[in-house]
Amino acid sequence: MRLGTRYVAPGLRPADRQEQATLKALAPDAAGARPGAGPRLVALAIESASGGVGLVLCSRVRALRGGSDPLGDGGTGESELLWSHPPRKWDIPEEILARSVFGPLGGIVEIGAVAATGTWDLADVSVREFVSRRQGDITRLLEVVQEVGGFGEPVMGIFDDLGYAREHPVEAPSLLLWSSGYEEVSDRFDQPDAVRRMSRVGADLQLTRFLDAMVEAAIAHGTDVARGAPLIAEALQIAVVLVGPALDGAHGDVTALRMWRVAHLAGLLLPDSPAAPEARALFRDYGHALDAVLGAP
């Protein structure tokens, strides 16, 4: 997909490992270029002013950089590493915060529907039947999301608009994305053994991302830690129930918390993280509070 050749005032950064894996899954020939096999491609994440993120592969990038640049003293130049001013975790529009929650939640619903078949055969998946059986859990989970993030009804309606809870086919490419490219794209990656592996990895990954998005929404809304942490723990536990067999009986809530601590929280607490100093303290407080609520070691 060609998104464009020139972008005005986006946030630019190197794609992280998960984003690189997604690009590799979507464009294996380009992303897998080897030395001697063609030009070296640069994987970039482009963050719009509204908070959306696009992934692109480039053979050359020219960026006009400004402000405090850790890679140099600014100016115009060609580079594989780009610096921009990332938005503080603090200053994120309500709709973007909600979509950050609804994205992994959609993955949780789809993976749950797959796991509920017991066969790991995509032909057996019915999202409608799964949602019908779990309607009480999903309703309560969305209530908690709304309370934690302080989201209004129009923003909450986005989840329904996205269609994750309506009947639709769940296909192997979706699981590939939810699992960040855990399987190689082949004529067998829709077979039950591959589907099960992608579902297990996808469950771990989306639970962790869901937890991160919930904590971020709570901090941005100003939800008190003493109130927010038990609610976030409840939402996470419901999400664990939804993915069910994909976790193979593992303690999914504690596992997700521990993964979040090392994959997300650790980076946010560093002095050079994009989070504002006052937000860093709140992320730390939420980490400690969730440890206590969930009994994480």
- Token pair for residue 155? 């923003």
Query: What is the residue-wise DSSP string for 103-147?
Result: HHHHHHHHHHHHHHTSS--GGG--HHHHHHHTHHHHHHHHHHHHH
DSSP 263: I
Q: Which H or E run includes 42? A: strand 42-47
List all residues 6 or more positions away from 53 whose beta carbon is below 8 Å from its beta carbon: 45, 46, 47
Q: Name 272's Cβ contacts closer than 8 Å, sequence gap at least 6.
A: 70
Sequence-separated (6 or more) residues with CB below 8 Å from residue 142? 156, 159
Please give the Cα distance from 232 to 207 (Å, whole number): 12
Beta strands 11-14 and 42-47 are antiparallel
Long-range contacts of 55-59 (CB under 8 A, 24+ apart): 55/15, 55/19, 55/22, 55/23, 56/3, 57/23, 57/27, 57/30, 57/31
Question: Can you give the pLDDT at residue 276?
Answer: 81
The model's pLDDT over 185-206, given as tens digits with 9 standing for 90+, comes to 999 999 999 999 999 999 999 9
Cα distance between residue 202 and residue 223, in whole Å: 28
Q: What are phi and psi of 108, to 5 degrees?
A: -60, -40
**70-93 CB burial, b ≥16 within 10 A, e <16:** eeeeeeeeeeeebbbeeeebeebe
Q: How many CB atoms lie within 10 A of CB 225?
A: 19
Picking from 206, 219, 105, the residue whose alpha carbon sits closest to that of residue 162 is 105
Closest CA to 117 of 107, 106, 132, 127: 127
Query: Residue 222's pLDDT is what?
Result: 92
CA nearest 50: which of 100, 92, 104, 7? Answer: 92
**pLDDT at residue 1, rounded to an integer:** 32
Please give the model's pTM, rounded to 2 decimal places: 0.71
Question: Cα–Cα–Cα angle for 19, 187, 42, nearest 5°?
Answer: 25
Percent of the chain with pLDDT over 70: 74
For 167-177, the pLDDT digits (tens) are 999 999 999 99
The two three-digit tokens of residue 105, written as one number: 């939640």
Comparing C-alpha atoms, which of 256, 296, 267, 294 is closest to residue 104? 256
Residue spans of the chain under pLDDT 50:
1-9, 30-39, 49-50, 64-89
Nearest-angstrom CA–CA distance, 215 and 145: 10
pLDDT at 297: 84
CA angle 174, 178, 184 (to 5 degrees): 75
